[in-house]
Amino acid sequence: MKKTMTRFIPFFIMASFLVTGCNQNIKSTTTAAKPSVSTEAKKDQGPVYKGKVVGKSNKAKQISIEVGKDKDAKTVMVSFDDKTKGLEYAAAGEGAIIAYEMRDGVPFATVIKPKLATLPPGVTVITPTEVKTLIDSNKDFLLVDSRPGNRYSASHLPGAVSIPVCEMQELLQNLPKEKDKLLIFYCGGPT
Amino acid sequence: MSTKSAGQAVKAGYKNIRVMLAGEPAWVKAGYPTYANYGWVCRGNIVLIDLRSAEKDAAARIPRSVSMPFADFADNYDEIPIKAPVVLYSDKDEETTAAMKILHDNGYKKVSLVEGNFLGWKRVGGSLEKGPVVTDVRWKRILAEGEVSVAEFERALADPKVATILDVRTKAEVASGKFPSSQHIPLDELCKDMDQFVCKIRDLQKDEKIYIHCTTGARAEMAYKELKKRDFNAFYLVAEVDCKGNDCSIEE
């Protein structure tokens, strides 16, 4: 297990740059199995906006980001300039953490970092190449596409089944009876 | 989404769970194929490409196919709009794989294949049509929620009673030209002084339509979302807008 984790850490760091489009509101109840890359956010000074990037305009130098949950959800506009770090992570649909300071009463982005997914305890990351190898070698596993059904219809991995994340009842009905069977989940990424 | 589903499976007692965090886009980026389901092939707003010969296409093809034989595909693929979702099929797997690569290499982001290729389609009893080949790509983007069509936007330009045109570009951009009938509020000011917005837009009624534009649609969409939250009857234009003086061009 330890060896496997070590092998995945470089990928996880890489994946953290790619990851988005996935709801990342699952919080692990244990930190034991979790790679420690997410701690870098704690080193940040000052206030941050954390949420999904709605859009970015390079001409107006503005990022809009949706922060807060459910009833408290709101979109805020943050300015940026050429000195803002990590602008590549402020792409529409991606989860981002924007550190900002107030300038003339307007929030101004200083550093932007990708918002990392937190995996549930015991769940490990798998790369596309590894999934491809499993498919090509006819290994017995269930590949689940967690995106909305229309996204699945348009383009899905070979052999994947569509179980959108909100259909929990359906998910449980469609999962195999054997609890030790390999399940692989995937969803959208950067658009 | 995948981590949430994985969490549900963990709660249900599954022991062997992995997540491909990089997602479907990374799978595509690695050069691996993705597939469209049969319903999407039948009804989706797609460009469906038959890579087989024109003779085979004329004899039996998946309905709505455009004939683009693989031999000339590299010369013809650019007739496919780059934003269109493309579905490819052939009776040779190496052709679909190669055509998919050509599209990926040239910036097409939504390419998928027919599961089982042409034979797979026939095997599941998918419907077929025959007749003279179709070579014209007639694809139109379906407007997203809140989008205004170019035609409707132009109608508002001609007749101010249709809607208020709101320009959210920067002051510098507007200095080199704008639509004569538009109101200008830069995006950053729009959001800073949202309470003042109604005052800035002359005579604006809450139920009156507002058509928002910028130079591509990105800022217009952001402005749309802000106005919508405040119950304005707003729409945004996704098109290239370029102004010199009072003369503006709109290109989809």
Residue listed under structure tokens 């650019």: B78
Q: CB–CB of A165/A145 below 8 Å?
A: no
Residue B141 domain-assigned (yes or no): no
How many domains is chain B built from?
Answer: 2
Tell me which of B215 and A1 has the higher pLDDT.
Answer: B215
Question: Under DSSP, is residue B191 helix (H, G, I), strand (E, B) or coil?
Answer: helix
Of A155, A175, A185, the CB nearest to B2: A185
Burial of B131 (0-12, 13-18, 19+ CB in 10 A): exposed
Q: Does the beta carbon of B158 lie under 8 angstroms from any beta carbon of chain A?
A: no
Q: What is the pLDDT of residues A71-123, one digit of tens each?
A: 677 788 899 999 999 888 888 777 889 999 998 888 999 999 888 777 888 89
CA count, 13 A, side-chain hemisphere, B242: 4
Residue B138 domain-assigned (yes or no): no
Q: Do A188 and B1 touch (CB under 8 A)?
A: yes
So what's the pLDDT on residue B186? 87
Other Cβ atoms within 10 Å of B59 Cβ, number: 12
B114 and B158 part of one domain: no
Nearest alpha-carbon partner for B210 in B189, B193, B191, B226? B226
Of B5, B23, B110, the CB nearest to A21: B23
Give Cβ neighbours of residue B111 (< 8 Å, ≥ 6 apart). A155, B28, B34, B85, B86, B87, B88, B100, B103, B104
Residue B8 domain-assigned (yes or no): no
Q: Does the beta carbon of B13 lie under 8 angstroms from any beta carbon of chain A?
A: yes
- Extract the tokens encoding B175: 């200095």
B212-244 burial, b for 16+ CB within 10 Å, e for fewer? bbbbbbbbbbbbbbbbbeeebebbbbbbebebe
> pLDDT at residue B172 above 60?
yes
Q: Do A145 and B222 touch (CB under 8 A)?
A: no
- CATH number, position B118: 3.40.250.10
Quick one: average pLDDT of B131-152?
92
CATH H superfamily, domain A128-186: Rhodanese-like domain (3.40.250.10)
How would DSSP label each residue in A57-70?
A: ETTTTEEEEEES-G
B132-141 burial, b for 16+ CB within 10 Å, e for fewer? ebbeebebee
How would DSSP label each residue in B90-125?
A: -SSHHHHHHHHHHHHHTT---EEEETTHHHHHHHTT
B247 and B167 part of one domain: yes
> pLDDT at residue A191 above 60?
no
* Distance between start and end Cα atoms, chain B: 33
Beta-carbon pairs below 8 A across chains A and B: 244
So what's the pLDDT on residue A1? 43
Q: What is the pLDDT of residues B177-186, one digit of tens each?
A: 999 999 998 8
Q: Does the beta carbon of A21 lie under 8 angstroms from any beta carbon of chain B?
A: yes
Of A24, A57, A121, the CB nearest to B222: A57
Q: Compute the nearest-CA separation of A45 from chain B (Å).
A: 25
d(CA B42, CA B22): 29
Could you report the predicted ipTM of this complex, rounded to two decimals? 0.72
Residue B176 domain-assigned (yes or no): yes
d(CA B167, CA B137): 33
Which residue in chain A has the smallest CA separation from B168?
A60
Task: Tell me which DSSP letter residue B70 carries.
Answer: G
Q: What is the pLDDT of residues B5-54, one digit of tens each?
A: 898 899 889 999 999 988 998 899 899 999 999 999 999 999 999 999 99
Residue B234 domain-assigned (yes or no): yes
Q: Does the beta carbon of B142 lie under 8 angstroms from any beta carbon of chain A?
A: no
Helices (H), B144-252: 150-158, 171-175, 187-192, 197-200, 218-229
CATH number of A2-114: 2.40.50.320
Sign of torsion over alpha carbons A88, A90, A92, A96: positive
So what's the pLDDT on residue A114? 83
d(CA B64, CA B45): 10
Residue ranges per structural domain of chain A: 2-114, 128-186
So what's the pLDDT on residue A76? 85
B193 and B244 part of one domain: yes
To the nearest 10°, the Cα dihedral for B224, B227, B231, B233?
Answer: -50
Q: Do B44 and A153 touch (CB under 8 A)?
A: yes
d(CA B41, CA B217): 29
d(CA B9, CA A180): 11
Quick one: average pLDDT of B130-156?
93
Residue B7 domain-assigned (yes or no): no
Please, what is the average pLDDT of chain A? Answer: 76
Q: Do A75 and B115 touch (CB under 8 A)?
A: no
> pLDDT at residue A189 above 70?
no
Q: For residue B84, give its domain range.
A: 19-123
pLDDT band, very low/low/confident/very high, at A136 (cuts 50, 70, 90): very high
Q: What is the pLDDT of residues A8-67, one digit of tens each?
A: 444 444 444 444 334 443 333 333 443 434 444 445 468 999 988 888 888 788 898 988
Q: CB–CB of B194/B230 below 8 Å?
A: yes
> pLDDT at residue B107 above 60?
yes
So what's the pLDDT on residue A92? 79
